Amino acid sequence: MADLQAIVEEIHEKLTPRLGEGKVADYIPQLAHVDPKKFGMTIVTVDGEVHKVGDCDEPFSIQSVSKVFTLTLALGKHGETTWNRVGREPSGSAFNSIVQLEHEEGKPRNPFINAGAIAVSDLVLAGHTPREAIGEIVRFVRYLADDDTIAIDPEVAKSEQATGFRNFALANFMRSFNKLDHPVEHVLGVYFHHCALAMTCTQLAKSALFLAASGRNPLTGHTVVSKQRARRINALMLTCGHYDGSGDFAYRVGLPGKSGVGGGIMAVAPGKASVAVWSPGLNHNGNSLIGSLALEMLATRTGWSVFGQ
Ligand code: GLN
């Protein structure tokens, strides 16, 4: 196999002069304080090798990357009936768009746009209080990463709760179509808290390893999901994980990936490795600008792509 440590170091070195490019998300006030020049990257291979560089062990707000974990939980609880509540088609519109929701009568296009993830939070809430559902999500992520130190940043959750008018609009709109089972405040409480999970690149890469290894985390031996489900979650990440930038990410990187407005991207090279990268500056689609470039360089150097060498 290629010398992955040398590759991540080379990527870091090549991108260092460009750190700070892109725009840090500031619509969630707490995120605006992050140093735009941060950069971290971790690769965990299916054989358990860890290769990392830069600020890879500094926690950051994973934001929408968490939507992969809540979808996995919802599928575990509700199986295929999950798809009665949320679709699985790329949206071609912004992550927080409300436009399609009216045409589609409150059923969001996919689980990774905000409306879809809010629908998924509603499914995770089934049978729980919001506090229990949030606890279940945190325990699940700790189990995936095999790391009990992972926690939610309460300041980020509060910051988003105070300013998330658009998410309130999306949730109320869905509720008006009778597409939410629980009160809007409860559903958004769960949603804002899982978006506020703080994780490092290394923790994030470890937590995605089950998706690179047919549903089983080779580091812990835990079977998280079936092979088929792992494949399907990867398919959704590839087609919908970067919102209206998903086509461009597939073209340039060619790996299933999920981004967040905190500047994180989690990507999966099936059968090979999981990768997490963090750089806070975003491109016009709300995806990490330098993070996408880092993954593009990694895919070029390793030949990892679901579309061929
Ligand atoms: N919590 C953020 C929001 O709802 C998540 C968006 C994102 O990471 N793309 O706006």
Domain range holding 114? 64-197
**How confident is the model over 19-78, as pLDDT tens digits?**
999 999 999 999 999 999 999 999 999 999 999 999 999 999 999 999 999 999 999 999
**161 — pLDDT class (breaks 50, 70, 90):** very high
DSSP class of residue 275? Answer: E
DSSP-assigned beta bridge partners for residue 274: 44, 268
Mean pLDDT, rounded, of the chain: 97
Which residue out of 61, 62, 63 has the highest number of ligand 1 atoms within 8 Å of its CB and is therefore the one to mutate? 63
Angle between helices 154-163 and 184-195 (to 10 degrees): 130
Shared domain for 117 and 54, answered yes or no, is no
Distance between Cα 75 and ligand 1 center (Å): 21
Position 260 pLDDT exceeds 70: yes
Rounded to 5 degrees, φ, ψ at 282 are -105, 155
Last residue of a domain, one of 197, 228, 256: 197
* Residue 261 known to be catalytic: yes
Mean per-residue pLDDT for 249-278? Answer: 98
Residue 69's pLDDT is 98
Same domain, 223 and 140: no
pLDDT tens digits for 121-146? 999 999 999 999 999 999 999 999 99
Is residue 157 predicted with pLDDT exceeding 60?
A: yes
Final residue belonging to a domain, choices 164, 197, 230: 197
Separation between Cα atoms, residue 21 and residue 36, nearest integer Å: 8
CATH of the domain at 101: 3.40.710.10
- 149 shares its domain with 206: no
* Res. 228: pLDDT tops 60: yes
Instruction: Dump pLDDT digits (tens) for 99-108.
Output: 999 999 999 9
Together in a domain, 186 and 214: no
The conformation of residue 216, written as its DSSP 8-state character, comes to B
DSSP string, the chain: ---HHHHHHHHHHHHGGGTT-SB---SSGGGGGS-TT--EEEEEETT--EEEEESTTS-EE-GGGHHHHHHHHHHHHHGGGGGGTS--S---S-TT--HHHHHTTT--S-TTSHHHHHHHHHHHTTTS-HHHHHHHHHHHHHHHHT-TT-EE-HHHHHHHHHH-HHHHHHHHHHHHTT--SS-HHHHHHHHHHHHTEEE-HHHHHHHTHHHHTTTB-TTT--B-S-HHHHHHHHHHHHHHTTGGGHHHHHHHT-S-EEE-TTSEEEEEETTTEEEEEE---B-TTSSBHHHHHHHHHHHHHH---TT--
Where is average pLDDT lowest: 55-64, 65-74, 87-96, 221-230? 87-96
My answer on whether 58 and 152 are in the same domain is: no
Residue 263 lies inside a defined structural domain of this protein: yes
Tell me: do 71 and 52 sit in the same domain.
no
DSSP 3-state of 1: coil
Report yes or no on 308 lying in a domain. Answer: no
Band of pLDDT at residue 92, cut at 50, 70 and 90: confident
Give the span between the Cα atoms of 202 and 194, in whole angstroms: 18
Domain count along the chain: 2
Does residue 309 lie in a domain region?
no
- Evaluate whether residue 44 is within a structural domain: yes
Are 206 and 110 part of one and the same domain? no
Out of 197, 222, 252, a domain closes at 197
Claim to verify: residue 273 and residue 177 sit in the same structural domain: no
Alpha carbon of residue 30 to chain centroid:
19
| Active-site option among 38, 66, 97, 243 | 243
Residue 246 belongs to a domain: yes
41 lies in a domain?
A: yes
Q: How confident is the model at residue 309 (pLDDT cuts 50, 70, 90)?
A: confident
Polymer length of the chain: 309
Looking at the structure, tell me whether residues 50 and 101 fall in a common domain: no
Residue 219 lies in a domain: yes
Ligand 1: lining residues by beta carbon, under 6 Å: 63-64, 95-96, 114, 160, 167, 195, 260-261, 286
Residue with the smallest CA separation from ligand 1 atom 2 is 63
Query: What is the per-residue pLDDT for 2?
Result: 75
Percent of the chain with pLDDT over 70: 100
Check residue 1 and give its pLDDT: 56
How far apart are the C-alpha atoms of 32 and 145, rounded to whole Å?
A: 27
186 with 277, same domain? Answer: no
Ligand 1 site-directed mutation target among 23, 24, 28, most atoms within 8 Å of CB: 28
Same domain, 151 and 85: yes
207 and 58, same domain (yes or no): yes
Please state, in angstroms and rounded to a whole number, the distance separating the CA atoms of residues 227 and 153: 32
At residue 51, the pLDDT reads 98
